[in-house]
Amino acid sequence: MHIRQRTLTAASGAALLAAGLLPATASGTPQPPPLEAPVGAADLLAKVATCAQISNGRYRTDAGAPATVAVCGKHGAVFWKADMDIDCDGQRTEMCNENTDPWFQAQTAFHQSDGRPLRSETLPFVVVPGVSDTWDYKTAGIRGGSVAAVIHDDQVLYAVVGDTGPKNVIGEASYAAAEALGIDPDPATGGTGSGVTYILFRNSQVSPIEDHEAAASLGERLAREFIQDN
């Protein structure tokens, strides 16, 4: 399959070269069109600099903290800016179990294609607040497997919606998501107190939910469309 793709690329390049639409190297070999650069954190953050609140009230970042975080709406997405607590629920693994996580639960709200809970240690996913009068993620076009862009310290990670949390708290992602962003993933002592932006793309879905490569590929396309449309 890869050989066939390279052959088609070369043939297309020769046609473009003959038409004068593609530059050639010194040897006359057509150069392929340049690849688009990945969507950067700054580009996404510029589009979520202001908030058009869609939640009926605000969320706490932790139990007992003041309610300061609103869910905001944009064309094609919802977003919020919060902290990151660590979700280590789901399948028991070396780093996610009753001994490492004082709040461990052996279930996640959404399951893999084989029916088992998600694997927090290896799958980057985000957590949405449980449905309440404050906000219902389902009415906003968000569901299990929806794609999210998580931004921290100029890094962009594409993940899926994988679990639900308390109805009044927001700002949580899986062990794998935190680790990928350079955030301490320890479920008991890790996380970060602020500086995380969560952008969830409406009416998107990765199937199977555990396919992270598919989430990354779709996320990059949706992020580019989000920037173009806002």
The pairing of strands 155-165 and 147-152 is: antiparallel
Domain range enclosing 176: 37-229
* Longest CA–CA separation in the chain, Å: 68
* Confidence check: pLDDT of 16 > 60: no
Write the pLDDT tens digit of every residue in 73-89: 999 999 999 999 999 99
Same domain, 23 and 81: no
Contact between 96 and 89 (Cβ < 8 Å): yes
Long-range contacts (CB closer than 8 Å, 24 or more residues apart) made by 214-219:
215/124, 215/147, 215/158, 215/159, 215/160, 216/158, 218/147, 218/158, 219/147, 219/148, 219/149, 219/158, 219/159
User: Are 42 and 54 members of one domain?
Assistant: yes
Residues 7 and 49 in one domain: no
Lowest mean pLDDT among 26-40, 79-93, 101-115, 130-144: 26-40
65 Cβ neighbours under 8 A, 6+ residues apart: none
> Could you give the CA distance from residue 60 to residue 81 in angstroms, rounded to a whole number?
11
Amino acid identity at 7: T
**CA–CA distance, 95 with 119 (Å, rounded to integer):** 11
Domain co-membership, 45 together with 104: yes
pLDDT digits over 151-188, tens only?
999 999 999 999 999 999 999 999 999 999 999 999 99
Verify that 84 and 50 share a domain, yes or no. yes
Per residue in 115-156, pLDDT tens? 999 999 999 999 999 999 999 999 999 999 999 999 999 999
Mean predicted confidence (pLDDT) in 200-207 = 98
Q: How many domains does the chain have?
A: 2
Q: Is 11's pLDDT higher than 50?
A: no
